[in-house]
Amino acid sequence: MTRIIPYLTMLGALLVQVALVPNVAVGGVTPNVLLLAAVTIALVKGSRAGIVAGFVGGLLFDLLGSGPIGVGAMVFCVVAFVAASLKENTFADGWLVPLVIVFLASLVGEIGYMTVLAVLGQGAGTLGGILGRALPAGLYNVVVAVVFYPWVARFLRRDKPMTTFRRLA
C-alpha cells in the first residue's frame, strides 16, 4: 500500500492542476502543483522516490501542454533529485526549510523548463519570462506549499503517523 501512495499523490496533483489551478491564476501566473507534489515526495521519501515522482509529474505536465514531450520530465526529475539532496545535506530543522527548498526548486524548475524550451527553439528565454513568470510562480508555489506540504507530507508518511506538523520539517 505504501508503495502506491506517491503515485496516488501525483494523480491527485494532476486532478488539482487540471481542475483548480487554471481558475486561481493571478495575473496569468499559476502554481505548479505537479512540481510541488514531486518536490514534496522528494523531501519526504528521499531522492530515489523524488526522481520517479519528478519524471512522472513532468511527463504529465508535458502532456497537459502543447510543447515537446519530455522537457518537463527531464527538468522535474533533476529538480526533485536536487531538492532531496539539499534536504539530506542541510544541517537545519524547522518549518522554513521545506518552504525555502520548495521556493528554490520552483524557481529553478520553471527557469530550467523555460531554458530547455528556448534551447529546443520552442520559445525565448527572456528576463521578462524570469521576472514575470518564473519568480511569481515560485512565490505562488510557496503560498500553496504552506497549505499543501504539511497535509501531503503527512499523507506520504502513513507508515509513520504523526500528531503534529512540526515534525514534518
Partner 1 sequence: MRISQHERKGPDGWILAVFLVIAFVLITVYFREGPTGPLRTTRKGVQAVLAPVGRGGYALTTPLRSVGSWVGDLSTSRADLDALRAQNEEMRQRLVALEEARQENERLRELVGFVETRELEVLGAHVIGRPATLWEGLITIDRGTAEGVEAGMPVLSASGLIGQIVDATQHSSRVRLITDQRSGVAAILQSTRAEGIAKGSIDGGLSLEFVSRETTVTVGDVVLTSGMGGVYPKGLLIGEVADVQLSDADLFPHIKVRPSVALAGLEEVVVLVGMPADDTAAGGGE
Q: Give the interface with partner 1 as residue ranges (CB under 8 A).
A: 14-15, 17-25, 28-30, 32, 46-48, 51-52, 54-55, 58-71, 73-74, 77-78, 81, 85, 88-91, 93, 110, 113-114, 117, 120, 122-126, 128-129, 132-134, 137
Q: Smallest distance from the beta carbon of 88 to partner 1, in angstroms?
A: 6
* Cα R_g (the chain), whole angstroms: 15
CB nearer to partner 1: give 66 or 163: 66
Question: Least distance to partner 1 from the beta carbon of 26, Å?
Answer: 11
Question: Whole-number minimum distance, CB 32 to partner 1, in Å?
Answer: 6
For residue 29, the minimal CB distance to partner 1 (Å) is 7
In terms of CB distance, is 133 or 154 closer to partner 1? 133
- The residues, ordered by sequence, that sit 6+ positions from 51 with a Cβ below 8 Å of its Cβ are 42, 77, 80, 81
What is the number of helices (H) and of strands (E) in the chain? 7, 0
* Lookup: cell for 111: 527557469
Write out the three cell numbers for 9. Answer: 499523490
CB nearer to partner 1: give 99 or 115.
Answer: 115
Dihedral pair phi/psi, residue 25, rounded to 5°: -65, 140
> Smallest distance from the beta carbon of 64 to partner 1, in angstroms?
5
Residue partners of 155: CB distance under 8 A and separation at least 6: 5, 9
Query: Which residue's CB is nearer to partner 1, number 20 or number 143?
Result: 20
26 DSSP β-pair partners: 29
Grid cell, residue 100, equals 525555502
